[in-house]
């Protein structure tokens, strides 16, 4: 893991926190509902951001929500009242989770592995803390495989990374497999660019 890059991206998200709720309107509530329909039991949300998922947490869950950006977490703290369940917010890096193996029944991330500096390490960590029969639920935008759009996303990526802290050309499905997570289902929500990926811990 590159500590310097992690600090740079964290700082960028502290800045992005100021306007993130406006950007976040690009993610329809229906996608978030689909994600959270699948969550059960002890839930870990990684990269909670400003708390956009709080209204969708299902009753009956116990949620621990982490983010490495104090700026994003400060905004999330102001929205805790929108959650219908108890939420424990913690400042933590998904690349080094401070939880024991198999601590959670469900691990959720929405639009996070486009930003994590070492996405495979972060995915390996969620693979570790999810119990073997548990569920890993990811909503992620990925690089298009279209022969025009893919290279265009590659060309624009440095700009988006600089201004927002996010990569628009990550091959997240391949990263999920590299991390050892077994994919059960993959749904395309917007062309083949936005995906709901449901999996469980693998070897």
Ligand X SMILES: C[S@@+](CC[C@H](N)C(=O)[O-])C[C@H]1O[C@@H](n2cnc3c(N)ncnc32)[C@H](O)[C@@H]1O
Q: Does 110 bind ligand X (CB under 6 A)?
A: yes
Q: What distance lies between CA 167 and its chain's CA centroid?
A: 13
**What single-letter DSSP state applies at residue 118?**
S
Nearer to ligand X, 46 or 107 (CB): 46
11 vs 132 by CB, closer to ligand X: 11
- Pair 68, 12: CB distance under 8 Å: no
89 touches ligand X (CB under 6 A): no
Residue from the set 111, 179, 194, 196 that interacts with ligand X by CB under 6 A? 111
Residue 86: CB atoms within 10 A of its CB come to 11
Cβ-based nearer residue to ligand X, 70 or 151: 70
Q: Count the site residues for ligand X by CB under 6 A.
A: 24
Name 190's bridge partners.
194
Instruction: Work out whether 68 is an interface residue with ligand X (CB under 6 A).
Output: yes
DSSP state of 52: T
> 66 or 201, CB closer to ligand X?
66
> Which of 47, 134, 199, 201 touches ligand X by CB under 6 A?
47
Which of 123/199 has CB closer to ligand X?
Answer: 123
Residue 141 near residue 171 (C-beta atoms within 8 A):
no
Binding mask 2-41 for ligand X (x = CB under 6 A): -------x---x----------x-----------------
Query: In this chain, which of 61, 63, 72, 107 binds ligand X, going by CB under 6 A?
Result: 72
- Give the burial class of 2: count Cβ atoms within 10 A of its Cβ; 0-12 exposed, 13-18 middle, 19 or more buried: exposed
| C-alpha–C-alpha distance, residues 149 and 63, integer Å | 37
Which residue bears the tokens 């959270």?
36
Among 43, 65, 89, 116, binds ligand X (CB under 6 A): 116
User: Cα(128)–Cα(202) distance, rounded to whole angstroms?
Assistant: 9
Per CB under 6 A, does 93 bind ligand X? yes
Single residue of 39, 44, 61, 95 touching ligand X by CB under 6 A: 95
């Amino acid at each position: 893991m590159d500590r310097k890059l992690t600090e740079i991206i964290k700082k960028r998200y502290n800045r992005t926190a100021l306007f993130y709720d406006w950007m976040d309107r690009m993610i329809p509530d229906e996608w978030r509902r689909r994600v959270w329909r699948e969550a059960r039991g002890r839930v870990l949300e990684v990269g909670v951001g400003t708390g956009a998922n709080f209204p969708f947490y299902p009753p009956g869950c116990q949620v621990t929500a982490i983010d490495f950006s104090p700026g994003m977490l400060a905004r999330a703290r102001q929205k805790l009242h929108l959650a219908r369940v108890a939420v424990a917010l913690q400042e933590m890096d998904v690349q080094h989770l401070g939880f024991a193996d198999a601590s959670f029944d469900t691990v959720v991330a929405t639009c996070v592995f486009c930003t994590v500096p070492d996405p495979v390490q972060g995915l390996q960590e969620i693979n570790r803390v999810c119990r073997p029969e548990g569920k890993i639920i990811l909503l992620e935008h990925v690089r298009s495989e279209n022969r025009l759009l893919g290279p265009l996303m590659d060309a624009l990526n440095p700009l988006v990374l600089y201004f927002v802290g996010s990569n628009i050309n990550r091959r997240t499905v391949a990263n999920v497999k590299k991390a050892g997570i077994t994919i059960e289902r993959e749904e395309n929500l917007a062309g083949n660019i936005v995906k709901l990926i449901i999996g469980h811990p693998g070897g």
